Amino acid sequence: MRISLNNVWLTNDGVADLHAWTDAHEVRLNGRQVVQDAQFLRAVAAQPLARGNVVNRLQFTVTRQHASVAEAAAFVLTAFGSLPTSGTAMLICGAYGELPLTCAFAAVLEEMPESVFHGTRTDTVFVLRGGVINALSPTVAGGVDGAGFGTGYVYAQGGSVDGGNLADALVPAGMDLDGGGWG
């Protein structure tokens, strides 16, 4: 899954090598309905009332490989302050052999509860919070880069995704994000 917020990629942008910058992994969604406990006079118990509001909390991890330890450390220290605080979150879902589906929702970057660097590698946890997540058409014009886009994967020869590192098994096919054909 590739995720952007307000036209800024939080995960791999589809151009970078998956060994240097991964798609979202350890993805968790906590959807809930806003409920109010109404206290009626002389009632035996409070009555929970659905307020008609939905809140989704999307948490995911991204791993990046940096050129140096200094660059990794600086990324961990400055990433939260350099990212957009809110906007439209675009989520591109799909795997090899599938037509990618795009979902979107109005979201805020609620927190980055953990960002750790191990030498030149960083693991960053992002939490987006927003309303209803809507599925859009399989490929969306006016995507993150303002043009139509899609995601294509090819398996590396001998690659396997069961029990292995997804970044070692999948590599993005060449793509032209300006609306052209596949490379």
Does the predicted model carry a pTM greater than 0.75? no
Q: How far apart are CA 105 and CA 89, in angstroms?
A: 5
Tokens of 153: 């994967």
Nearest partner of 24 among 88, 93, 103, 119, judged by Cα: 93
The model's pLDDT over 48-106, given as tens digits with 9 standing for 90+, comes to 888 888 999 999 999 999 999 999 999 999 999 999 999 999 999 987 678 889 999 99
Q: What's the residue count for the chain?
A: 183
Q: Domain residues of the chain, as ranges?
A: 2-32+51-151
pLDDT at 104: 95
Looking at 15-59, list the stretches that DSSP marks H as alpha helix, in order from N- to C-terminal side. none
Instruction: Compute CA distances 1 → 38, 51, 60, 65, 105, whole Å.
Output: 40, 31, 10, 18, 15
Q: How far apart are CA 89 and CA 109, in angstroms?
A: 9
| C-alpha neighbours within 13 Å on the C-beta side of residue 174 | 4
Q: What is the mean pLDDT of residues 120-125?
A: 95
Tokens of 123: 């693991």
